[in-house]
Structure 1
């Protein structure tokens, strides 16, 4: 957290940990520390990924 504050970053992208197993907690962990969600970015990435594989629907 400190490095993102020190660098005054506006956007941080996270990957992985979005499945349904017990260790997949990236969405929950991210929500606990962010100020605002960029929902449009998530929708755009999901839309692009759906063109590659229908398994994208299983992402959270």
Structure 2
């Protein structure tokens, strides 16, 4: 939550839980944004763009 607030993304916990159930890829994107909000976070992995390669 703190990473999302730091990135000025204002979603409450209910919306996040609905996203996690119904839109897992969108939720994963928000998790990645939240992780990248802190420059010292060593566990953050850069998002991969594999989905576009499959569609092309």
Please state which structure has a larger fraction of its residues in helix. Answer: 2
Higher relative contact order (CA 8 A, sep 6+): 2
Q: Which structure would you say has the larger Rg?
A: 1
TM-score normalised according to structure 2 size: 0.29
